[in-house]
Amino acid sequence: MSHNPPFTDWHGKTVWLVGASSGIGRATAHALHAQGAKVFVSARNQQALDVFAAEHPGAVALAVDAGDAASVNAAAKVVLGAGPLDLVLYCAGYYKEMRATEFDLQIMLEHQRVNYLGALYVLDAVLPHFVKRQAGHISLVSSVAGYRGLPKSLAYGPTKAALINLAETLYVDLQDSHVGVSLICPGFVETPLTAQNKFTMPGLIKPEQAAQEILRGWASGQFEIHFPKRFTFFMKALALLPPVLFFPVIRKFTGL
């Protein structure tokens, strides 16, 4: 299998989105529902999930703390108990900018808990189901911040780099099991997370645009879905530079 099985018709498909109360997750849940999918939406914010479910008939709201294994397992039982699951999207995220001069272990560990361990808890809950069925799709939301080490990204960047490596290895390992794997690497998207940034964000797009890019990527069976291209291709080129060039370029562009 050189590509993922494409998703071109969502009618009758079931999707579980973890991290769907706002931003990219919510916009993607909305887009999938509009295409006829049955969507289970999870996040910590029960109120936001209930609002989504009320606005999208048939959608199911399941509150989850993604960084808590028992919470994820309880929700997964409900999702898998409702019938075959076709795709799980892990888009829960935690972000606070940090530099090494302000190292804070608790903030580092919270990034790890939500951004990476949460993905592992979801995998633990759904992967055996997919492998047994020889069908299904795992999609992990990373970030261009995971390509290389960047200033102010001490806590966030390493967790996103871990997701990139995880997705690549899953893809390699699961090709013969007919389980699809995709990696989503957004640039800057208008979300509650990026609202914290005090700098100009190049190529900033709306969550609705991000959702359409993701659905297009799934429809064409892509492994890595990255957007907006005008920014992500620049970041990819930057990531290819050897350290002797990469570090001076980053310092020049960021002034840090």
Task: Write the pLDDT tens digit of every residue in 35-87.
Answer: 999 999 999 999 999 999 999 999 999 999 999 999 999 999 999 999 999 99
Domains, the chain, in order of start with CATH, read 14-254 (3.40.50.720)
**pLDDT class for 114, splitting at 50, 70, 90?**
very high
Helix axes of 118-133 and 156-174: crossing angle, nearest 10 degrees: 10
Residue 200: per-residue pLDDT: 66
Query: At which residue do the structure tokens 């001076």 appear?
Result: 248
Q: What is the pLDDT of residues 127-182, one digit of tens each?
A: 999 999 999 999 999 999 999 999 999 999 999 999 999 999 999 999 999 999 99
What's residue 190's pLDDT?
A: 79
**What is the distance, to the nearest Å, from the Cα of residue 103 to the centroid of all Cα atoms in its chain?**
25
Residue 213: count other Cβ atoms within 10 Å of its Cβ: 21
pLDDT value of residue 205: 83
Helix %, strand %, coil % for the chain, to 5? 50, 15, 35
Tokens of 202: 């190049």
What does the pLDDT read at residue 195? 63
| 8 A C-beta contact, residue 40 and residue 15 | yes
Its pTM stands at 0.94
Catalytically annotated residues = 156
pLDDT at 20 over 60: yes
Per-residue confidence band for 1, with pLDDT thresholds at 50, 70 and 90: very low
Least confident segment among 21-25, 113-117, 121-125: 21-25
